Amino acid sequence: MTLRALWRLSRPHTLSAAIVPVLVGAAAAGLSGTVSFPLSLDMLAISLLLQIATNMANEYFDFRRGVDHAGLTGIAGVIVSGELQEKTVLRYALSTFALAFILGCVLGYFRGLMLVSLGLLSIAIALLYSAGPKPIAATPYGELTVFLLMGVLETLVSEVAASGRLSVAGLAASFSVGLLVAAILTANNLRDRESDQERGRRTLAIVLGEARGLSLLRAEIFLALLWPAAAALLRLLPWTAALTLALLPLAAGVGRSGPLRRLLPQTSRLHLLNGAVLAGGIALYALVR
């Protein structure tokens, strides 16, 4: 395994999805108590490792089912090119999951064994996402899965890691994170809709079709950006969370023109910016109140 191959297998363009929930969860923790930076860093490492391991597993299982081919967008391509053996990729995926679990046990020692159980659940779902005769990635339930797992659950676990407690603010903020993670998957599946259909997949983008799929993508994005302001009005989040409204002009251009391949980088950028603004707004309130 070369560093170049490892970098490609990690799919670096997806890693912001692992960083944002940790930032938002830690910021929410700051509203109700002292933040443990060492445990937050541990949580960040766990989140990144789980994302990388999931990407590796996806590479392996898609190759095994014969759905990956040279030139396919969105894959590392190290197996189809012959650069790495499939068993090598599987071994690294399982080793990365194991390392994430070990770090999760450290977190569980300080914050409770429930987090270890949630970690095992996350690993199981990550494997089921790509593995098995009916992987979640090939069904219309991918968006719901990532909304719950990489949005709500990761944000709340990150808040517990940082402060040892949950809050209404953390739950409210997690919805915005989850909606934009789901939007990233919708953008990815819209781009790959034709090739996925040829490979026998039935993603939500295929079920809805291109026009309604684009409508879903825009709805996910605008709800994610508008929700913090609504939550602030309901006093679920501090008023500074409404700073995400500043991103609405950027959101307005997503999917309006140009090829579908532009949707994913546009949505990923919005996800990262929304996470930074949301976490920064919450942290700012916690510091100056």
Q: Write the pLDDT tens digit of every residue in 4-18.
A: 878 888 888 888 999
User: Is the pLDDT assigned to residue 237 strictly greater than 80?
Assistant: yes
Q: Averaged over 203-225, what is the pLDDT?
A: 95
Torsion of CA 208, 211, 212, 214, to 10 degrees: 110
What secondary structure does DSSP assign to 170-213, as a single string? HHHHHHHHHHHHHHHHHHHHHHTHHHHHHTT---HHHHH-HHHH
The pTM score is: 0.92
More confident residue, 199 or 171: 171
Q: Which of 71-80, 118-127, 174-183 has the lowest mean pLDDT?
A: 71-80
Architecture per CATH, domain 18-288, reads as Orthogonal Bundle (1.10)
Residue 46 makes CB contacts below 8 A (sequence gap 6+) with 100, 103, 104, 107, 119
SS3 of residue 240 by DSSP: helix
pLDDT grade for 195, boundaries at 50, 70 and 90: confident
Q: Averaged over 209-223, what is the pLDDT?
A: 95
